[in-house]
Chain A
Amino acid sequence: MDHLERLENRSIHLLREAYSCIPNLAMLWSIGKDSTALLHLARKAFFGHVPFPLIHIDTNYKIPEMTAYRDRLALEWKLTMIVGRNDAALAQKRTFPDGAVDRITCCRLLKTQALKDVLSGQGLRLKLNHSTGGYEPDPSREPYTGVIAGIRADEEGSRSKERYFSPRDTESRWDLGDQPPEFWDQYKTDFAPGTHVRIHPLLDWREVDVWEYIDREAVPTVSLYYDQGEGRRYRSLGCHPCTSPVESTARTPKEIVAELRTGKFKDIAERSGRAQDLEDRGTLEELRRDGYM
């Protein structure tokens, strides 16, 4: 069993543990490479089925290709697709692109708040109708008690401290000073009412592992990751006002792997194109303590 196979088997094991032990489970799908690789792992774990809904948090500032690509795969793979959005903040124009708040507050409102509301069932939940291809309000208000997320330990400092099964309190907060012990393949699967757990099957993957896996398994990924002839591509995908492309001519997962292993990105951090990470040391930690993924 090679390195990638070992990572793959472990992730599948974690996905299955989550499915068997957590009653009301969902998976976050940001359309990015990590959560798309994770979606592929889920289809492998459950032999072509994805037995829980996928949640996408729509900030309204996602790059348009992302939404089109999401709906195409959701229909093709028969996914239960749920979209959450903070319509109140968008209507009141309380966003960074509107010039009303700083980047961090914008993330907090459009991502963290929208996520919390969709999880608790108190906010907007739009569900994909497979016969029309459109989205309709989801009648279910049942809170989700488990959320699978595709974060990796090598992304940044606070994520390097995560657990595979990471509890969140009734306010979605993360208590970093008192995380549960996790050993011998046994995870925290008992919870007080109102709390939930984040499950992180990709914790041990590095950026280059994800790309090698995408290459090996031919996982379909959104075109924004590849140079379309202009010498630019996205290395990490977020909202367009806060994410900038990098200069690169990589056109395929293979070329991206080469770039990461021996080429120009050999020693450059993945999220260096994300503006909100640079504003203050520890910003992401603050966001994550507060419920951000």
Chain B
Amino acid sequence: MSSLADHGGPIGAVSDGAATIEELGGSRRATPLDRVQRSLHAHPALGPFLVLACSSLIFYALNGRFLASENVSLMLQQVAVIAALGVGQTLIILTAGIDLSIGAAMILAQLFMAQLAANDHWAALPALLLGCVVGIGTGALNGTLVTRFRVPPFIATLGTLSILTSSGLLYSQGQTTQASQMPGLLNWTGNLVKIGPFNLINGVLVVFVLYLAVNYLLTQTRWGRHVYAVGDDLEAARLAGIRTRLVLFSVYAFAGLIVGIAAWVSIGYTGAASPNNAVDANLQSITAVVIGGTSLFGGRGGVFGTLFGALIVVVFTSGLTLANVNDLYQPIAEGVLVIAAVGVDQWIRRVKA
């Protein structure tokens, strides 16, 4: 957002000039600000990308180690879990919904994977698949509440947040399972892999593939179109002959599958499955989506914006630490970014024809 604010001054002055011309009866011309508004409107991921690029450069200028390959590798590993959950959250927010339970669902799925494999001696693949089924189940539960019982998504997922959190604690009896107790497949996502100068974990690659796949679904398939149409104007989509309930339900269920994948990545990244893992993940995934330019009103945005949004948060955390700024400024920066992103979204939505 800082880049936009920087340009705000001079551009604002130009548009003021245009306004006076208008008052004198001159014809309305597109000001540079209008053009910025229009291109952000057409490309919702553009704003977050610019913020990411500018903030990275600034942090690099403050401390050269910021863009060193070790630090970039570390940031990519740190972002993986939230970025994965962000994909599911993006789908739901695109339908003008929200999922407050997504992190709790991930913890539950990962506890199932870990305990079935470590305590109940299931083979790795069935344990992994059952964890994914648990994820899909949580999504289907939210989807049923939203589509069949017409509970607003905020309330439905607030309820399932409590239910899933406690279920996880009950099921695991508060115990943490170390990755070393699990079969190799379950913590395969934590294995190191070297890509060029970067030392990554397999989980990062899984998440990257996830982004490519969901981006394809959203932009190149019928289902993706219908997701946008349903989020944009539910009644119009229904009148145009879209099975809106089915689309909505499928979005929640599919987000549940992504929860399962995120659980797998999380086991690898943290090297354990614990009911106290990633308790902030619910809100962090929403933060990533919102900073990523997807509109809370639905119908506008996409997954790559969310990737940038998740990266921005990690970049600020790392960059501020490397710049020797007190840790407490990091949440402040994050809060400012979220509010600024929603403000920019409101402004973009008023785009003129």
Is chain B a partner of chain A in the same complex?
A: no
Task: List residues of chain A with CB under 8 Å of any chain B CB.
Answer: none
